[in-house]
């Protein structure tokens, strides 16, 4: 039997909570999620059943068949050797062409969208040109590319040319050691190869690559004419040389991509005409063949064109040219014209709405099967999932006109029906958003997907306008363009469209860990609990700090050190990316790069600097406890606290209880909240905002956690909030620590709403009560919560809606709970693929129950 929420008395009446679907009464709480998957068609049901998931946990792949392929390494190396002496940007284009001309093609049964990025769908490519350490790590695993000797030879060849080798000489070896261990800050991209990009899909779908080639050719003719003008002026005319090289490289890359797509078309035709016995599938293959011949060469005319063209571009930008995490796009607006052509007007590839939902499900399964050759650090920190694949829907168009459409609904319906951990969705919540679409958002959340994660639309629009002011070429987004944004990865809005999008990760996204930084601030910069080394600058003995402000100042210095170091690491990498890691294909599909003849990793028209403080709330709660018990009440001395921490509280339990019971974040507490607000706004935000990055803009905090709240917890000793050494930290950028928000859901909102200054966004994880959400009042309560959240000007919120009973049942019998999905932090995961301890941290999160006072505050229409 399913649990039903208890009746309550509200506004002088008794309110009951019967289930919205009475049939669910017979479904045990422990098995609810195994009854929610309803693929739209038999095809997507089959595709899901044979999907080759590539989830990782603790740095290892769950499926033992998954392994690294050697083909990409081999082909890019052949090209690199053969093209020595040519301009680097031309070499990059020729490398891509050699890969695309010679790579194995993958065509699988039932697929409507085709294409893969390795020689086998169980495999993923590696990138020796980026981080030699990341590839060396792969060579030491069970999923090493084969033959291993050849892979080692390739790696040895690349080591001196790699981005990592180019960047390392510009850092003190001690700083490198500190960065690489990922205890006080995230490791540098040049040692991991981690990356993210927002491809300007719009130009490919609207123009087609043949037009982009024509544009580059016109630019070349013009440049050549400018070079030949007399009298010669070297101060102006020499500047055409790199532009000429880039436009030539664009043509090489685009022609290679067209040829590669058409190879797929020929393969589909060969299979259809020679091997396929099912007549319906044969027709599908012939249509796929036609599509791959036309796109991405030509503009898309229908929705099938758009999905296929987008997929090819995704593979190039995220996997073949180089690795990039993410699936950033404003997908509903991007596809809406083609949806309208195929479904509404039926002018090309005519189909029904349900057919589009099936296509979206196919795309979701392609992403689920996509393999990411990411480094160990990133195989550790998204436990139970593949990679960060996140797309955005909803929001507004210029003039704050609702951007929700039937395409938005198709994306949400598909996510609800097929139930995959990837891709995650972001919904931009705006008051003008249509209720029909918000209802679908609710259904995804209610069914426990953990997404859509919800972003405040107007905060995002204003943020695009704010960063535009810092544009180095005075060509940041216009007020209209500011409406077209999507999350770059989990949490940070970035512009989408034909130009000005983020092309490489120096623009934002890496992390520093305040809990660890506070730990070392209490120990004069020394890390006694993990690495046994000086981890930061010497900032004084804590026992000699006379005031609370002295401690905060020591923390600030530790924090300032890592802020500048990690952002310097990103910008040094970008310096070298501009010289040896150019992306001529991406440049060819960006209107700005095409117009100006500047490569996409170098051109930055719209700054979007951010960095991620992770474990903030452990540090903040610790500061509150120290201020209260040591400096205000003088109940303990700092030395007593340090002694207790070094003993991991052993022998000091009574003292630990007092620190544990000190006021905590998320309870609308008048003592804790002002201290923590100041910590967010003036220390974390204020210090970071002093930095100027590659793009000339400030860097703002995006507090979040991914799985780092667990990983960093393991590398952080006991903390003054009463936490034991090794225990997890807080699971969101601004979420209360697990189990410490004891005054209900609206007290959490009131606390979080206090933090406004110097922030980009902060992740708020909330866990909602399943019986309430599945009741007849579920949507009305949730919508009133969301409307209040929006009015409080909170940047983000996301929800777990999974019962403890079901999670515990899955721990006992994982094989029976393959469809149980949970929200970990900025991503959703298959619960049974998460390590046991990680599962326990999710179970330990406070499940919010709404009382009459909460409903009153939310003005819920019960």
Partner 1 sequence: MSATAQNSSPNMMMHEETGTGKPCITCKWQIADPTNPVKGQCTVNRTQMGGVWKRWVSDVYNKTCGKHEEGKLSFREHV
Could you list the residues that contact partner 1 (CB under 8 A)?
57-60, 62, 133-134, 136-137, 140, 179-183, 187, 191-192, 375-377, 380, 528-532, 646, 648, 710-711, 713-715, 717, 724-728, 835-838, 840
In the complex with partner 1, the residue whose CB is nearer, 134 or 589, is: 134
What distance in Å separates the CA atoms of residue 291 and residue 309, rounded to the nearest whole number? 9
Nearest to 679 by CA among 567, 799, 548, 785: 548
**What six digits make up the tokens of 651?**
């022998």
Distance in Å, CB of 530 to partner 1, minimum: 5
In the complex with partner 1, the residue whose CB is nearer, 540 or 726, is: 726
Angle between helix 303-315 and 353-369 (nearest 10)? 10
Distance in Å, CB of 107 to partner 1, minimum: 32
Do residues 506 and 574 lie in contact, with contact meaning Cβ atoms separated by under 8 Å? yes
- Assign 3-state DSSP to the chain and report helix, strand, coil percentages, each to 5: 50, 10, 40
In the complex with partner 1, the residue whose CB is nearer, 325 or 784, is: 325
In the complex with partner 1, the residue whose CB is nearer, 161 or 180, is: 180
Do residues 388 and 425 lie in contact, with contact meaning Cβ atoms separated by under 8 Å? no
Distance in Å, CB of 62 to partner 1, minimum: 7
Do residues 67 and 122 lie in contact, with contact meaning Cβ atoms separated by under 8 Å? yes
Distance in Å, CB of 488 to partner 1, minimum: 22
**What six digits make up the tokens of 314?**
């995704």
Q: What is the DSSP string of 269-280?
A: HHHHHHT---HH
In the complex with partner 1, the residue whose CB is nearer, 524 or 787, is: 524
Distance in Å, CB of 722 to partner 1, minimum: 12
CA-only gyration radius of the chain, Å: 27
Distance in Å, CB of 727 to partner 1, minimum: 5
Write the CA distances from 542 to 184, 516, 688, integer angstroms.
19, 15, 24
Name residue, tokens 């951007």.
403
In the complex with partner 1, the residue whose CB is nearer, 123 or 738, is: 738
What distance in Å separates the CA atoms of residue 296 and residue 205, rounded to the nearest whole number? 7
In the complex with partner 1, the residue whose CB is nearer, 154 or 251, is: 154
Q: What is the DSSP string of 684-751?
A: IIHHHTT-B-TTSSBEEEEE--TTHHHHHHHTS---TTSPPTT----SSSSPPPTT---S-HHHHHHH
Write the CA distances from 325 to 150, 390, 521, 819, integer angstroms.
27, 9, 33, 24
Instruction: Kindly compute the dihedral angle of the four CA atoms of residues 548, 549, 552, 557, in this order, to the nearest 10 degrees.
Output: -140
Please give the angle made by the CA atoms of 682, 687 and 692, to the nearest 5 degrees: 135
In the complex with partner 1, the residue whose CB is nearer, 60 or 255, is: 60
Distance in Å, CB of 465 to partner 1, minimum: 37
Distance in Å, CB of 376 to partner 1, minimum: 6
Count of helix runs (H) and strand runs (E) in the chain: 36, 24
Distance in Å, CB of 190 to partner 1, minimum: 10
Distance in Å, CB of 724 to partner 1, minimum: 5
Distance in Å, CB of 527 to partner 1, minimum: 8
Respond yes or no on whether the N-terminal peptide bond of residue 147 is cis (omega within 30° of 0): yes
User: What residues contact residue 429 under an 8 Å CB cut-off, 6+ apart?
Assistant: 394, 438, 454, 455, 456, 457, 786, 789, 790
In the complex with partner 1, the residue whose CB is nearer, 464 or 809, is: 809
In the complex with partner 1, the residue whose CB is nearer, 83 or 181, is: 181
Distance in Å, CB of 123 to partner 1, minimum: 20
Instruction: Kindly compute the dihedral angle of the four CA atoms of residues 166, 68, 306, 581, in this order, to the nearest 10 degrees.
Output: 10
In the complex with partner 1, the residue whose CB is nearer, 361 or 380, is: 380
In the complex with partner 1, the residue whose CB is nearer, 378 or 585, is: 378
In the complex with partner 1, the residue whose CB is nearer, 648 or 804, is: 648
DSSP structure class, residue 321: S
Nearest to 528 by CA among 681, 407, 442, 642: 642
Write the CA distances from 241 to 230, 575, 598, 804, integer angstroms.
17, 19, 11, 63
N-terminal to C-terminal alpha carbon distance within the chain: 25
Distance in Å, CB of 842 to partner 1, minimum: 13
In the complex with partner 1, the residue whose CB is nearer, 105 or 642, is: 642
Q: What is the DSSP string of 641-668?
A: HHHHHHTTTTT-HHHHHHHHTS--TTS-
In the complex with partner 1, the residue whose CB is nearer, 137 or 550, is: 137
What distance in Å separates the CA atoms of residue 733 and residue 18, rounded to the nearest whole number? 35
Distance in Å, CB of 186 to partner 1, minimum: 9
In the complex with partner 1, the residue whose CB is nearer, 339 or 378, is: 378
In the complex with partner 1, the residue whose CB is nearer, 540 or 814, is: 814
Distance in Å, CB of 730 to partner 1, minimum: 14
DSSP structure class, residue 185: B
**Greatest alpha-carbon span in the chain:** 90
Distance in Å, CB of 52 to partner 1, minimum: 18
Distance in Å, CB of 193 to partner 1, minimum: 11
582: exposed, middle or buried (Cβ count in 10 Å: 0-12, 13-18, 19+): buried
Do residues 599 and 584 lie in contact, with contact meaning Cβ atoms separated by under 8 Å? yes
Residues in the chain: 862
Distance in Å, CB of 723 to partner 1, minimum: 10
In the complex with partner 1, the residue whose CB is nearer, 168 or 298, is: 168
Count of beta carbons in the 10 Å neighbourhood of residue 550: 16
């Amino acid at each position: 039997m399913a649990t039903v929420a208890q009746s309550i008395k509200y506004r002088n009446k008794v309110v009951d909570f019967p289930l919205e679907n009475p049939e669910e009464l017979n479904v045990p709480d422990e098995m609810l999620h195994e009854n929610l998957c309803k693929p739209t068609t038999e095809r997507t049901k089959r595709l899901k059943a044979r999907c080759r998931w590539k989830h990782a946990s603790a740095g290892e792949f769950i499926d033992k068949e998954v392994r690294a392929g050697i083909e990409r390494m081999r082909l890019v190396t052949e090209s690199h050797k053969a093209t020595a002496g040519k301009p680097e940007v031309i070499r990059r284009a020729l490398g891509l062409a050699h890969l695309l001309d010679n790579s194995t093609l993958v065509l699988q049964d039932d697929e409507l969208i085709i294409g893969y990025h390795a020689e086998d769908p169980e495999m993923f490519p590696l990138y020796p040109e980026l981080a030699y350490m990341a590839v060396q790590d792969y060579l030491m695993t069970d999923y090493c590319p084969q033959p291993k000797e050849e892979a080692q030879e390739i790696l040895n060849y690349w080591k001196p040319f790699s981005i990592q080798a180019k960047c390392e000489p510009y850092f003190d070896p001690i700083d490198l050691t500190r960065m690489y261990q990922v205890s006080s800050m995230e490791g540098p991209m040049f040692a991991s190869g981690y990356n993210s990009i927002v491809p300007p899909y719009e130009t490919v779908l609207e123009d087609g690559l043949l037009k982009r080639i024509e544009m580059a050719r016109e630019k070349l003719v013009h440049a050549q004419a400018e070079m030949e003008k007399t009298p010669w002026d070297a101060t102006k005319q020499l500047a055409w040389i790199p532009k000429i090289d880039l436009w030539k490289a664009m043509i090489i890359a685009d022609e290679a991509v067209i040829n590669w797509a058409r190879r797929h078309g020929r393969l589909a035709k060969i299979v259809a005409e020679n091997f396929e016995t099912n007549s319906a599938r044969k027709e599908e293959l012939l249509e796929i063949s036609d599509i791959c011949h036309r796109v991405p060469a030509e503009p898309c005319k229908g929705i099938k064109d758009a999905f296929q063209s987008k997929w090819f571009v995704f593979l190039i930008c995220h996997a073949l040219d180089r690795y990039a995490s993410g699936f950033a796009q404003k997908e509903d607006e991007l596809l809406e014209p083609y949806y309208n052509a195929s479904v509404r007007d039926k002018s090309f590839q005519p189909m029904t709405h349900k057919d589009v939902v099936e296509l979206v499900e196919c795309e979701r399964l392609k992403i689920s099967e996509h393999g990411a050759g990411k480094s160990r650090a990133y195989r550790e920190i998204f436990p139970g999932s593949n990679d960060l694949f996140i797309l955005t829907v909803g929001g507004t168009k210029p003039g704050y006109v609702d951007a929700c459409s039937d395409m938005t609904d198709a994306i949400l319906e598909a996510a609800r029906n097929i139930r995959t951990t990837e891709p995650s969705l972001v919904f931009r919540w705006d008051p003008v958003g249509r209720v029909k679409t918000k209802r679908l958002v609710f259904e995804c959340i209610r069914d426990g997907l953990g997404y859509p994660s919800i972003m405040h639309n107007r905060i995002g629009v204003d943020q695009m306008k704010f960063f535009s002011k810092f544009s180095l070429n005075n060509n940041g987004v216009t007020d209209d363009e500011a409406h077209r944004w999507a999350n770059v990865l989990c949490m940070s809005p970035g512009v989408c469209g034909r130009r000005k999008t983020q092309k490489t990760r120096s623009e934002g996204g890496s992390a520093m860990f305040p809990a660890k930084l506070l730990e070392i601030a209490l120990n004069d910069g020394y890390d006694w609990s993990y690495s046994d080394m000086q981890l930061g600058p010497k900032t004084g003995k804590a026992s000699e700090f006379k005031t609370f402000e002295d401690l905060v100042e020591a923390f600030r210095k530790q924090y300032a050190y890592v802020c500048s170091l990690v952002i310097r690491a990103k910008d040094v990498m970008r310096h070298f990316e501009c010289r040896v890691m150019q992306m001529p294909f991406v440049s060819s599909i960006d209107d700005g790069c095409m117009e100006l003849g500047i490569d996409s990793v170098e051109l930055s028209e719209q700054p979007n600097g951010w960095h991620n403080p992770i474990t903030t709330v452990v540090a903040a709660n610790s500061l509150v406890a120290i201020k209260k018990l040591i400096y205000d009440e003088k109940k303990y001395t700092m030395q007593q606290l340090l002694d207790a921490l070094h003993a991991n509280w052993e022998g000091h339990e009574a003292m630990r209880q007092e620190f544990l019971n000190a006021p905590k974040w998320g309870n609308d507490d008048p003592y804790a909240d002002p201290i923590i607000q100041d910590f967010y706004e003036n220390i974390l935000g204020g210090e970071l905002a002093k930095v100027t990055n590659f793009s000339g803009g400030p860097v703002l905090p995006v507090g979040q956690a991914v799985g780092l709240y667990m990983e960093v917890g393991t590398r952080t000793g006991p903390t003054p909030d009463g936490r034991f050494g090794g225990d997890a930290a807080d699971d969101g950028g601004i979420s209360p620590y697990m189990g410490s928000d004891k005054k209900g859901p609206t007290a959490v909102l009131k606390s979080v709403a206090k933090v406004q200054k110097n922030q980009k966004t902060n992740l708020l994880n909330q866990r909602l009560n399943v019986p309430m959400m599945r009741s007849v009042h579920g949507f009305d309560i949730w919508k009133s919560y969301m409307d209040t959240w929006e009015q409080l000007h909170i940047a983000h919120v996301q929800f777990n809606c999974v019962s403890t009973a079901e999670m515990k049942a899955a721990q006992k019998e994982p094989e029976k709970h393959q469809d149980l999905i949970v929200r970990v932090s900025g991503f959703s995961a298959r619960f049974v693929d998460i390590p046991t301890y990680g599962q326990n941290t999710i179970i330990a999160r406070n499940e919010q129950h709404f009382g009459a006072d909460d409903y009153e505050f939310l003005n819920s229409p019960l």
